[in-house]
Amino acid sequence: MREPQRITPDLIAQHGITPDEYQRIIAILGREPNFTELGIFSVMWSEHCSYKSSRVHLKTLPTTGRCILQGPGENAGVVDIGDGLAIVFKMESHNHPSFIEPRQGAATGVGGIIRDIFTMGARPIALLDPLRFGPLTDVKSRFIAGGVVAGIAGYGNAVGVPTVGGELCVSETYAGNPLVNVFCLGLAPKDRIFLARAGGAGNPVIYVGAKTGRDGIHGATMASETFDEGSEERRPTVQVGDPFREKLLIEACLELMAGDAIVGIQDMGAAGLTCSTCEMASRGGTGIEIDLALVPLRETGMIPYEVMLSESQERMLLVAHAGREHEVMRIFEKWDLDAVIVGRVTDDGLMRVLNHGKVVAEIPARALAEEGPVYRRPMERPAYLDEVQAADLSRIPVFDRPADVLLALLASPNIACKRPVWQQYDHMLFCNTIVEPGSDAAVLRVQGTGKGLALAADGNGRHTYLDPYEGGKLAVAEAARNVVCSGARPLAITNCLNFGNPERPEIMWQFGEAVRGIADACRTFDTPVTGGNVSLYNETLGTAIFPTPIIGMVGLLDDVRQATTQWFKAAGDAVLLLGESRDELGGSEYLKVIHNAETGRPPRLDLDRERAVQAVCLEAIQADVIRSAHDCADGGLAVALAECAVTGPERFGGRFDLPGEFRADSILFGESASRIVVSVRPSDVEAVAALAKRHGVACTRLGTVGGDDLSFRGKGFAFSVPTAQAYEAWDTGLSKLL
C-alpha cells in the first residue's frame, strides 16, 4: 500500500470522519494530521471503539453494587464471589466478520473475548454463544450457521475453554445480518486482578504473541487506495484465528501474572496496536512511545498506517517494571512466543509512534482515547409501533388441532433441542460442569469452595421490536429467571446490544428505550451491569435487524449441590405454576410459527411481581422442597410443560389443567412473563404453596407427572400427545435443518 500524499476531503470522508470531527482533530493536534494519524483517529473514533452514539445512554445503566469490584471501563467486569475469588466476564459481538467468513469470523470472535478475560489475570473457564440466523430452510443461512458453529467449536475446543451454553434463534430479520455474540467468564484470585494501564516513565513496553500482518485493516480506506499491480494480495485480509497460539498466550500471560513483573497488560483487539497503546497510556495518565521497526511483521512492505491499524489476532501489549524484562522474556520463551520490547512509557502524555526512529505519529493519548466525539443523536418513536401494538389479535383464528400446534412448536428451531449445536462444543473441560447445556442455565462448580455459578444468555428480538422498553426488561428478567430456576441468586450482567443504524432517529429511539428497560430491570433485581458491547449498523439494504439486546447473566449458588434442572424427576410428583397466565398472545412464538405474524404487544412485565416469583422459586430450591424448575418462555405454558417432560435423561408423561378464562391458544401458548413451572414431591406441595402465599405469588396446581402421554385440559380444549411423539418432534426439529 502506498501513502496518499495529501489529506483530501474524500480521504477524510472515506475514513468515516465528519468535517466537525476533523476540526476537532486539528484542534487536538494544533495542526493537520498526516495519513497515519488520520487512520489512527478514524479507528479510535469509530463507533466500535468510541461508543460515540451509545455512550450517553449506557451512562444510565446501574454499574455499582456490593460485590462489584470492577464495572465498565476495563477489558471486562469483575465480581466478588467470596472465598477470596473473583469472576471476570464480558460479552462481545462479531456479527459482521461472521457474515463475511462465518467460520473464521466466529472463531476470532471467541479468541477476542477470551483475551479480554485473561488480560485481567483470570483463567477463562466458560463460554456462552448467543446466536441469531436467518431461517435455516434457506441455504445461505444454513451455510452461515454451520460455519459459525464450526468456527466456535474449532476455536473454543482447541484453546481449551468449554462452551457451556448459549442460544440459537432464527428469524428472517437476521438473514442478511446474523448475530454472533460470545460471552466468556474467568476465575481469578480477588487480589490479583490486572488492569490495562501503563505506568512508570521509562518502563519497557513489550509486544507479545503473533506477528502482525495486513489482517482486517479498515476496508473503507483500502478502497480509496490506488493499487499498483500485484496489490491484489495486499487487500485487507480476513483474520484467521490460531487457537493454539492463543492457548500458549493464556498460559504464558497467567504464568507471568502470577508474579509482579508487570505494571499493566492489554490485548490487541479492534484497532490492535493503536487502541492498546493509547488506551494504556490514557488510563495510566502517562504517554507511550513505540518504534514500529521493532514490531514483528508477517508480511513485507507494510507501512506505519497498516501496522498501526492491523487487527491480526493473538497479540498482547504489556508494560513491565524496568529491570524485570528478562522475567517476561524467559516465560514467553518457554512458551515459544515472540516477546519484543517495542517502546517505553513516557511522562509527556503523548502516544508517539516512530518508524526507525523517525516520528510518524504524535497524538495526545488521552484526547485520542477519552475525548472522542460523543453524540446525543436525535430519537423518534418509530411509526410501525402504533400499527403492531394496535394489531387486533382477536382477528387471528383459534386453531382447531392443538396437538399439531404443540408438536409444530416443539419442532421449531427456536424451541427444538439445541444438541446438534452444543454436542460440537467441549462443555465439560475443567470438571466444573454440574448442569450441562440443555437446562435453563449452565451450572459450574467453583472448585475448592462448594459454591456454584449459573450462567444464562437471553434476549428476544421480536419482543424488543414490538416494544423496545419491555423487550429490554424482558431480556433481563428471563435471564435472571433462568439463573434462579437453576438454584442461583442473580449477581450481575453483561450485555451485547445489537441494533441498526444509530443515525436514524427511530433506531436510536429503540436503543434508548431498550437500555432504559435494561436499567430498570437491573435495578429491580440488583444485578448491576459490569460491561458489555454495542454493535450498531446491523442492517442490510437499509432494513435494520430486530433490535436485539442480549443479556449475559451470572448467578451464585452458595451450595452447588442445590443446582436444579428443568426436567421432571419422578412420576407422581405434583406440577405447580408459580405466577399467573394472562391473555397475552402478542409477539409469541405461536403467532410466528403458526400464523406467521410478528405483531401485537409483547407480554407486560411487572418487575415487582417478577422479583417475587423468582424469590419463591429460589427459596423453595434452597429449602429443598422442589425437584425441578423451568421458566416459561418461548411457546408458553404448554411448551414449557412439554419441555419439563421430554428434555431430561428420563422422559415422563403428565396430565395438566391449564388455568385461564380466555382464548384457548392464549392459555396454551401465550408467553406471559414471570411464570415458572416447578415439580415437587406430593408431600411438599403445602410448603411451596405457603412460600408463594408469603410472597403474594399465585401458585396453581397444574397436574401430576406420570403416564405415557401429555394431556392438556382447559377452557375450550382437551387433548393429549404421546410423550414419545413430543420428544421426537423436539429432538429432531433442529437436526433436520442443520
Partner 1 sequence: MKIGILVFPGTWSHQDFEHVCRDVVGIDCGLIWHKDTSVAGYDCLILPGGFAHGDYLRCGGIARFSPVMEAVVAFARSGGPVLGSCNGFQILCEAGLLPGALLRNTSLQYRCRWVHIRTESVSTPFTRAMRPGQVLKVPISHGEGRYYVPPQELAALEAQQQIIFRYATPDGQVTPEANPNGALDNIAGVCNAGRNVVGLMPHPERASEALLGSTDGRLFFTSVLESLAAATR
Partner 2 sequence: MVEARIHVTLKKSVLDPQGDTVKSGLASLGFSGVEDCRIGKFMVLKLQESDPQKARAQVDEMCRKLLANPVIEEYVFEISEVAG
The catalytic site residues sit at: 48, 94
CB of 111 to partner 2, least distance (A): 11
Considering the complex, state which of residue 93 and residue 433 has its C-beta at the smaller distance from partner 1.
433
Of the residues 634, 665, 684, 709, which one makes contact with ligand ADP according to CB under 6 A: 634
CB of 244 to partner 2, least distance (A): 6
Binding mask 99-128 for partner 2 (x = CB under 8 A): -xx--x------------------------
Copy the grid coordinates of residue 506. 427511530
Does residue 164 touch partner 1 according to CB under 8 A?
Answer: no
Distance of CA 666 to the CA centre of its chain: 31
Pick between residue 338 and residue 619 the one whose CB is nearest to partner 2. Answer: 338
338 grid coordinates: 515472540
Given candidates 237, 501, 540, 562, which one binds partner 2 under the rule CB under 8 A?
237
Closest alpha carbon to 632 in 685, 572, 691, 698: 698
Q: 323-332 contacts: CB < 8 A, separation 24 or more?
A: 324/261, 324/262, 325/204, 325/206, 327/256, 327/259, 327/261, 328/206, 328/208, 328/256, 328/261, 328/262, 331/252, 331/255, 331/256, 332/208, 332/252, 332/256
307 versus 508: smaller Cβ distance to partner 2: 307
Which residues pair with residue 494 across a beta bridge?
552
**Cell digits of residue 219:** 476496508
Distance CA 137, CA 152 (A): 22
Cell matching residue 49: 471503539
Contact flags string 157-196 toward ligand ADP, x per CB under 6 A: ------x-xxxx----------------------------
Segment 601 to 660, residues that bind partner 2, using CB under 8 A: none
- Per CB under 5 A, does 440 bind Mg ion? yes
Residue 100 near which of Mg ion, partner 2, partner 1, none (CB within 5-8 Å, type-dependent): partner 2
Residue whose CB is less far from partner 2, 69 or 270: 270
Of 75, 482, 538, 720, the one binding Mg ion by CB under 5 A: 482
- Please tell me whether residue 238 binds partner 2 under the rule CB under 8 A: yes
Closest-CA residue to 166 (of 412, 454, 455):
455
CA–CA distance, 186 with 125 (Å, rounded to integer): 5
CB 530 within 8 A of CB 78: yes
The interface region with ligand ADP, picked from 337-345, 433-441, 557-565, 685-693 by CB under 6 A, is 433-441
Q: Enumerate residues 434-493 that contact ligand ADP by CB under 6 A.
A: 437-440, 442, 458, 482
Residue 464 corresponds to which cell in the numbers above?
Answer: 424488543
User: By three-state DSSP, how is residue 206 classified?
Assistant: strand
- Of the candidates 56, 10, 161, 121, the one whose C-alpha atom is nearest the C-alpha of residue 373 is 56
Which of 551, 547, 458 shows the shortest CA–CA distance to 498?
547
Binding mask 325-364 for partner 2 (x = CB under 8 A): -----------x----------------------------
Contacts 24+ apart (CB under 8 A), 133-137: 133/168, 133/169, 133/170, 133/174, 133/175, 133/178, 134/170, 134/171, 134/172, 134/174, 134/175, 134/176, 134/178, 135/170, 135/171, 135/172, 135/175, 136/170, 136/413, 136/734, 136/737, 136/738, 137/737
* Exposed/middle/buried for residue 299 (C-beta within 10 Å: 0-12, 13-18, 19+): middle
Which conformational region is residue 78 in: left (phi greater than 0), alpha (psi within -120 to 50 degrees), or beta? Answer: beta
Q: Which does 233 bind (CB under 5 to 8 A by kind): Mg ion, ligand ADP, partner 1, none?
A: none
- Residue number, 54 or 439, with CB nearest to ligand ADP: 439
Beta carbon of residue 285, minimum distance to ligand ADP (angstroms, whole number): 41
Among partner 1, partner 2, Mg ion, none, the one that 472 touches (CB under a kind-dependent 5 to 8 A) is none
428 interacts with partner 1 by CB under 8 A: yes
Among 56, 222, 240, 738, binds partner 2 (CB under 8 A): 240
Q: Which three cell numbers stand for residue 195?
A: 488492569
Q: Does 548 bind ligand ADP (CB under 6 A)?
A: no
SS3 letters for 667-712?
Answer: HHHCCCCCCEEEEECHHHHHHHHHHHHHCCCCEEEEEEECCCEEEE
Q: What is the C-alpha to C-alpha distance for residues 196 and 369, in angstroms, rounded to an integer?
A: 13
Does 311 bind partner 2 (CB under 8 A)? Our answer is: no
Among 215, 279, 598, 665, indicate the residue that binds partner 2 (CB under 8 A): 215
* Residue 315 contact among ligand ADP, partner 1, partner 2, none, beta carbon within 5 to 8 Å by kind: none
Residue 443-472 contact track with partner 1, rule CB under 8 A, x = bound: --x-x-------------------------
- Between 236 and 636, CB nearer to partner 2: 236
Beta carbons of 186 and 118 less than 8 angstroms apart = yes
Angle CA 561–565–568, to nearest 5: 120
Cell numbers placing 533: 458491547
Residue 494 binds which entry of ligand ADP, partner 2, partner 1, none, CB below 5-8 Å type-dependent: none
- DSSP reduced 3-state for 390: helix
CB of 33 to partner 1, least distance (A): 41
Amino acid code (one letter) for 183: F
**How far is Cα 79 from Cα 423, in angstroms, rounded to an integer?**
30
- Map residues 603-632 to x or -, x wherever contact with Mg ion holds by CB under 5 A: ----------------------------x-
Does residue number 306 form part of the binding site for partner 2 (CB under 8 A)?
Answer: no
Contact 341, 331 (CB under 8 A): no
Binding pattern for the stretch 149-188 against partner 2, x by CB under 8 A and - elsewhere: ----------------------------------------
The binding site for ligand ADP (CB under 6 A) comprises 129, 131, 163, 165-168, 418, 421-422, 437-440, 442, 458, 482, 631, 633-634
Residues that bind partner 1 (CB under 8 A): 150, 153-154, 157-160, 242-245, 247-248, 334-336, 422-431, 433-434, 445, 447, 560-561
By CB under 8 A, name the binding residues for partner 2. 100-101, 104, 210, 213-215, 233-235, 237-242, 244-245, 298-299, 312-313, 336
